[in-house]
Amino acid sequence: MASPVNTSPSSPTTETIIPFPVSKRVRRVTPKEQIDRLQDEIRGLAAHLHAIEAVAVPPHPHSHSRRSELWRIMALRQLEQRRISESESRELREMVKHQIEEAKSLSRILRRRTRIQRLREMLEDNHRNRPNETIPFAVAVQEGEQVFEEMLRDVNDIYQNMDALFTEKGMHSMSCPGRKRQTDNTVLNGVCFELMQREIVPFGVEKVKDAIWSSLGQLELEGLRSVRGFKTNVQFRKHDSSRDTTTAMVSFFADLSSGRSTSVKIRKVVRRYDEEHRTIFIYRTFMEPNPCNFRKPVGVHAISTLVIEIRYDDPDDDSTLIQSHFTVTRYDEELAAGHRLRLGVNLNISIAVWDEMISRIHDQVESYLVSRASCNPYKMIYARSPIV
């Protein structure tokens, strides 16, 4: 018999209940809260930007327009020089064509025995006459040292009186850019040429110093355009240069289109003076022509003096003020040997030569600066306020 099943409530079956883990819900960021957070970041960045701008030097309101105008003027001058060079290149090509034709004609002439003999005799005559022409150059070398010492003393005196000279000539009251030129082709003794110039260039002072020093060291009267058919044949050159002083002596023959030949002797001194907010260059030449190649002086010479002052408030400025004063003083002892140099045509040629010589110095300075800037065109985009 089966035993009865105990179903009494006093012995219930035990059941274990495992509760589900309660998950923590992540709070969702509302769009409004995101916008507020971004606005806070914008306000912080804007405050930081204002702080940086407050520290930076505010640009001059007219610096960019003034600098653009300086570059425009300089570009126009460079364009004009390029047109002149292209015109001269065309003329040179024509000259080369004519010279080729002349060379062909000469080759035909040289086939004849009699012409060859004549040419040989002519070359021998020229060779015999050449030593007589070079005698004055040896004398010039011996006299050079004494003349240079005197010229250096004159340059120091000019430096001491430079401020008074600029005040007397009204340099600081000139417009900028400005140019004032005076000539007198009737003067035999005294100032026959004077030029004052004032301009601002968009370059740093160190670059301007290098450009002026390089330009003042060029050979005078070489490759002149103002005198048609002018050619130079250098016979002697002596050049000494240090950090702040350059002395040079050059002797050469100048051949004109008319067939005349003139011996010219030039002594030059260039000295540089550095001060706190300016640098001064003084360029002085002693030029002595000899139209007939006489052994003795003809009693005519000219002295030219160029004073250049560059001013700057800060060496790091990208604008530099250049002021220059140039004079030519003529001296004539009225000797009979120098009568050709007193002719009106020769006096006019002298004025044209001086005018081109000083203009070429300024052009060389500008071309030097532009060529250096073209090597690094992105360095000089922003400029500070120019000197006034």
Q: Encode pLDDT of 343-385 as tens digits.
A: 878 788 888 888 888 888 888 888 888 887 776 554 443 333 3
Provide the residue range defining the domain that includes 115. Answer: 80-120
Same domain for 241 and 338, yes or no, is yes
Same domain for 315 and 200, yes or no, is yes
20-34, 274-288, 333-347: least confident range: 20-34
Predicted local distance difference test score (pLDDT) of residue 380: 43
Q: Which tokens sit at 53?
A: 């701008």
Residue 313 lies in a domain: yes
Backbone angles phi, psi at 304, to 5 degrees: -110, 145
Same domain for 91 and 237, yes or no, is no
3-state secondary structure of 335: coil
Residue 344 lies in a domain: yes
- CATH classification at residue 216: 3.30.530.20
Rounded to a whole number of angstroms, the distance between the first and last alpha carbons of the chain is 132
Bridge partners of 278, per DSSP, are 311
Same domain for 166 and 230, yes or no, is yes
Residue 113, pLDDT > 90, answer: no
Predicted local distance difference test score (pLDDT) of residue 132: 43
Strands 320-332 and 245-255: unpaired
Same domain for 168 and 198, yes or no, is yes
Q: Is 102 exposed, middle or buried (0-12, 13-18, 19+ CB in 10 A)?
A: exposed
Predicted local distance difference test score (pLDDT) of residue 157: 92
Residue 127 lies in a domain: no
Same domain for 322 and 224, yes or no, is yes
Question: What count of other Cβ atoms lies within 10 Å of the Cβ of residue 80?
Answer: 11
Q: Is-above-0.85 flag for pTM?
A: no
Question: What count of other Cβ atoms lies within 10 Å of the Cβ of residue 385?
Answer: 18
The mean pLDDT value for 236-243 works out to: 73
Instruction: State how far the Cα of 328 lies from the Cα of 347, in Å rounded to an integer.
Output: 13
The mean pLDDT value for 248-254 works out to: 70
- DSSP codes joined into one string, 156-225: HHHHHTHHHHHHHHTGGGS-SSEEEEEE-TT-SSEEEEEEEEEEEESS-HHHHHHHHHHHHTSPTTSS-S
Of 95, 120, 145, the one marking the end of a domain is 120
Instruction: State how far the Cα of 15 lies from the Cα of 229, in Å rounded to an integer.
Output: 128
> Which one has a higher pLDDT value, 115 or 289?
289
Residue 225 lies in a domain: yes
Predicted local distance difference test score (pLDDT) of residue 93: 86
- Per-residue confidence at 106, pLDDT binned at 50, 70, 90? low
Q: Is 47 exposed, middle or buried (0-12, 13-18, 19+ CB in 10 A)?
A: exposed
Q: Report how many domains make up the chain.
A: 2
Residue 246 lies in a domain: yes
3-state secondary structure of 65: helix
Q: Is 48 exposed, middle or buried (0-12, 13-18, 19+ CB in 10 A)?
A: exposed
Same domain for 151 and 249, yes or no, is yes
> Which one has a higher pLDDT value, 232 or 300?
300
Strands 178-183 and 190-201: antiparallel
Bridge partners of 246, per DSSP, are 241, 270
Instruction: State how far the Cα of 68 lies from the Cα of 319, in Å rounded to an integer.
Output: 12
Residue 23 lies in a domain: no
Predicted local distance difference test score (pLDDT) of residue 2: 46
Same domain for 215 and 111, yes or no, is no
Bridge partners of 347, per DSSP, are none
16-30, 175-189, 361-375: least confident range: 16-30
Same domain for 141 and 84, yes or no, is no
Instruction: State how far the Cα of 285 lies from the Cα of 296, in Å rounded to an integer.
Output: 21
DSSP class of 19 = P
Residue 51 lies in a domain: no
Residue 140, pLDDT > 80, answer: no
3-state secondary structure of 237: strand
Predicted local distance difference test score (pLDDT) of residue 159: 92
**Percent residues over pLDDT 70 in the chain:** 67
- The residues, ordered by sequence, that sit 6+ positions from 163 with a Cβ below 8 Å of its Cβ are none
Task: Write out pLDDT tens, residues 257-307.
Answer: 555 667 778 888 899 998 888 899 999 988 888 766 566 678 888 999 999
- Per-residue confidence at 110, pLDDT binned at 50, 70, 90? low
The mean pLDDT value for 106-117 works out to: 62
Residue 126 lies in a domain: no
Predicted local distance difference test score (pLDDT) of residue 385: 34
- The residues, ordered by sequence, that sit 6+ positions from 173 with a Cβ below 8 Å of its Cβ are none
Same domain for 113 and 225, yes or no, is no
Q: String of b and e for 334-345 (b: at least 16 CB within 10 Å)?
A: eeebbeebeeee
Same domain for 114 and 193, yes or no, is no
Q: Which tokens sit at 109?
A: 């002439």
CA triple 148-217-88, angle to 5 deg: 130
Same domain for 283 and 348, yes or no, is yes
Residue owning tokens 């009699």: 114
Predicted local distance difference test score (pLDDT) of residue 30: 81
* HEC sequence for 190-207: EEEEEEEEEEEECCCHHH
